[in-house]
């Protein structure tokens, strides 16, 4: 057996096969769950299930025709309150979200339906006070710059590590042309950087939403190819 063949996936020690297989299966499942999470958050931004260009635009550029709170109540947060409650809150928002109405009735509705998350989870608006909810009753201008900065650095650091280990395992495959191997390993990093860039660009130019979808699709396909090829050869 040649020195090179000892490092191919088909001939590595069974314990390494178990390690690599377990990692790839769990990461693959994690990527599927990430896609499901996108469908239930960004994918509901326009009030319809399924990811579309409008969902990306509403998430990052915003819907300049209405408030962020109204869009959430008609989209991704639609299931968090019954129709009558949502209608009452939306009516209050459209009337200018006056503080006296907040104190007399709206705060009770919000407390019963929203503060189990909004007021507990860091990084999202705090609905326990009038000042907190007032920040999302203005015209929806999409994701804020601090939010984009926070999410961007988490994605760039975290997902890059996932791609590194997937790519490392894929380097041990055999029978794959060098150009294809290099392309498959490199593409996820390029698409990841482009994906994050497209969020910032869409914040100001909504047409960049198409780039977000292209980038996400690109690194998903490249990752799936490396995962399935590696698993097959083991």
Per-residue pLDDT tens digits for 61-70: 887 777 888 8
Alpha carbon 157 to chain centroid distance? 14
Residue 26 falls inside a structural domain: no
Q: Residue 40: give the domain boundaries.
A: 36-45+52-62+144-234
| Cα(94)–Cα(92) distance, integer angstroms | 6
Split into its structural domains, the chain has a count of: 2
In a domain, residue 2? The reply is no
The closest alpha carbon to 172, from 223, 231, 230, belongs to: 230
Structure tokens that stand for 92 in this block: 């209050």
Are residues 207 and 152 part of one domain? yes
In a domain, 17, yes or no: no
166 within some domain: yes
Q: Which residue has the higher pLDDT, 198 or 121?
A: 198
Nearest to 220 by CA among 2, 10, 34: 34
Give me the pLDDT at residue 94, please.
84
State the pLDDT confidence band at 4, using cuts at 50, 70 and 90.
very low
- Residue 56 and residue 202 in contact, taking contact as beta carbons nearer than 8 Å: yes
Task: Flag whether 234 is in a domain.
Answer: yes
201 and 153 share one domain: yes
Considering the domain architecture, whether residues 181 and 202 belong to the same structural domain is answered as yes
Last residue of a domain, one of 95, 112, 134: 134
The whole-number pLDDT of residue 171 equals 94
Q: Kindly list the distances between the CA atom of residue 31 and the CA atoms of 87, 219, 223, in Å, as whole numbers in the listed order.
A: 36, 11, 9
**Inter-residue contact 219 to 191 (CB < 8 Å):** yes
Q: How confident is the model at residue 7, as a pLDDT?
A: 66
Residue 101 sits at φ, ψ, to 5 deg, of -70, -35
Kindly give, in sequence order, each residue whose CB lies less than 8 Å from that of residue 211, ignoring residues fewer than 6 positions away: 194, 195, 197, 198, 201, 202
Q: Mind listing the pLDDT tens digit for each residue in 187-221?
A: 999 999 999 999 999 999 999 999 999 999 999 99
* 222 & 184 share domain: yes
Q: And the tokens for 34?
A: 């990430």
- Residue of 192 and 136 predicted with greater confidence: 192
Q: Do 124 and 207 have their domain in common? A: no
Q: Are residues 188 and 222 in the same domain?
A: yes
Question: What pLDDT is recorded for position 189?
Answer: 96
pLDDT at 22: 96
pLDDT reported for residue 121: 83
CB 161 within 8 A of CB 168: no
115 & 153 share domain? no
| pLDDT over 90 percentage in the chain | 53
Asked whether residue 58 falls in the same domain as residue 149, the answer is: yes
* Same domain, residue pair 150 and 179: yes
The pLDDT score that the predictor gives to residue 125 is 84
pLDDT bucket at 17, cuts 50 / 70 / 90: very high
Q: Taking 60 as the threshold, does the pLDDT of residue 127 lie above it?
A: yes
**Angle in degrees, 0-180, between the axes of helices 14-40 and 209-233, rounded to the nearest 10:** 160
> Is residue 80 a part of any domain in this protein?
yes
Final residue in a domain of this structure, among 116, 134, 152? 134
DSSP, residue by residue, the chain: --TTGGGSTTTS-HHHHHHHHHHHHHHHHHHHHHHHHHHHTGGGTTSSSS--HHHHHHHHT--TTSBHHHHHHHTTTGGGS-HHHHHHHHHHHHTT--HHHIIIIIHHHHHHHTTTTTTTSTTS--TTSHHHHHTTSSB---S-HHHHHHHHHHHHHHHHHHHHHHHHHHTT--S--HHHHHHHHHHHHHHHHHHHHHHHHHHH-GGGHHHHHHHHHHHHHHHHHHHHHHHHH-
Q: Is residue 28 part of a domain?
A: no
pLDDT tens digits, 22-59:
999 999 999 999 888 888 777 666 667 777 888 898 88
CA 68-73-74 angle, 5° bins: 100
Q: In DSSP terms, which residues pair with 139 in a beta bridge? A: 67
């Amino acid at each position: 057996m040649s020195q090179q063949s000892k490092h191919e996936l088909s001939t590595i020690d069974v314990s390494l096969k178990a390690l690599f297989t377990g990692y790839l299966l769990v990461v693959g499942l994690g990527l599927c769950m990430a896609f499901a999470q996108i469908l239930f958050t960004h994918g509901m931004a326009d009030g319809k299930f399924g990811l579309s260009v409008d969902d990306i635009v509403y998430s990052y550029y915003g819907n300049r025709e209405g408030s962020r709170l109204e869009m959430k109540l008609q989209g991704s947060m639609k299931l968090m309150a019954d129709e009558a409650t949502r209608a009452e809150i939306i009516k209050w928002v459209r009337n200018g979200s006056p503080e006296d109405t907040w104190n007399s009735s709206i705060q009770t509705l919000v407390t019963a339906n929203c503060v189990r998350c909004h007021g507990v989870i860091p990084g999202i608006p705090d609905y326990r006070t009038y000042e907190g909810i007032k920040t999302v009753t203005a015209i929806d201008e999409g994701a804020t710059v601090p939010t984009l900065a926070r999410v961007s650095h988490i994605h760039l650091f975290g997902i890059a590590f996932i791609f590194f280990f997937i790519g490392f395992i894929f380097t041990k495959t055999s029978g794959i042309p060098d150009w294809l191997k290099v392309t498959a390993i490199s593409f996820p990093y390029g698409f990841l950087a482009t994906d994050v860039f497209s969020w910032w660009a869409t914040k100001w130019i909504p047409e960049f939403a198409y780039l977000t979808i292209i980038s996400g699709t690109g690194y998903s396909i490249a990752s799936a190819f490396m995962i399935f090829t590696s698993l097959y050869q083991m």
